Chains A and B, each alone.
Chain A
Amino acid sequence: MADNNHWYMLSLIGKDRPGIVAHVTSALFEGGANLGEASMMRLGGNFSMMLMVQFTGNLHGLHEIIDGVAESLSLHVHLDRIDGQLHDHRQPDVRIRVYGADRAGIVAKVTGVLAEAGLHILDLESDVAGTQTEPVYIMTIEGHAGEGVAALESALEIVKQEGIDASLEAIDIMVG
């Protein structure tokens, strides 16, 4: 890989509509950029993309490729040159599920005690279900248990005493 082939992190956010991914990735392809790992999803009626982009030119050149299509789709663009690479995965060894009646501070409480017990979060997804008057918060986390799964289990006991439902399972990867 040539030295002048840099990785950028492209973030795009805007009102959701069909075709966003196709339009954005076409523009990047036609502009000569390569795509790496990505995470994209609809959140609260907005569509958000985080995308590793490899490009031989500079930040300005990449903006020229993406700004037009982003504007036409009313997407906000954020671009950063990153010190990153592909094939740098860290495998999770624990999965944690948390849910409860939604209330202020639930995420901070849960992730706070887990961080203290050695959790490195690799992936977190959360949603609010239920109804407007009785919202339910649901979260799944995959991560690396730096101080072992037992330490996280003890940490979750603290959370459970406050009326939050939480469970945990070790992820045992089957390689065949």
Chain B
Amino acid sequence: MAVLEILKYPDPRLKEIALEVEVFDAALQSFIADLEQTMRAGPGGVGIAAPQVGRLQRIVIVDVSSKPKIKQHGRLVLINPEILEWEGMAKGREGCMSVPDFTGNVIRAKTIKLRAQDEQGEFHDYDMEGFEARAVQHEIDHLDGLLFLDRLVSRRNDLFARKVYK
């Protein structure tokens, strides 16, 4: 196992769209082990996506079990993840190992229904909420070439600007 180098913005690979994983072999398992070790080596990192280490494949690891008293699924390897349903909106503060020395407020869905494959290619469905749902949405954004910087909201206009209807 090895700790891989985390790409930092403005590395252009962070803006690429990652490809589906089709082969679930030993090489994939080995990469996932490295990716997990890289996530755990980062300060406070609760999630990581393969493009953050320059591998443009749809692989995400999330583990928010270090946070007390929240609903969560523990360590999750999410391959080819797909959000099937979204509900609610909440503002929360995010940071990113690929964007050092900055945190900002981002609006995410409060709850999501997620379908993803595991390391062996088996499909699973998950109902997620809160911090874990936020982490998964942040990581899936990486698979689509998006950073939380693309979703920052103004500090001043808290949640939603009021719409004016004529």
Contacts and interface: CB of A to CB of B under 8 A. Distances in A.
B156 A41 contact: yes
Contact of B96 (A87, A92, A123, A176): A176
Nearest to B97: A175
A165 to B, nearest CB: 15
Interface residues of B, number: 28
B138 interface: yes
Contacts of A41: 156
Contacts of B96: 175-176
Contacts, number: 57
A173 B101 contact: no
A35 B158 CA distance: 26
Interface of B: 42-49, 62, 67, 92-97, 101-103, 131, 134-135, 138-139, 142, 155-156, 158
Interface residues of A, number: 14
B92 A174 contact: yes
B155 A175 contact: no
B67 A176 contact: no
A89 B102 contact: yes
B160 to A, nearest CB: 14
A173 B134 CA distance: 10
Contacts of A89: 101-103
14 contacts: A87-B101, A171-B92, A171-B93, A173-B44, A174-B47, A174-B93, A174-B94, A174-B134, A174-B135, A175-B95, A176-B48, A176-B97, A176-B138, A176-B142
Interface centre among B43, B67, B138, B155 (most CB of A within 10 A): B155
Contacts of A87: 101
B95 A173 contact: yes
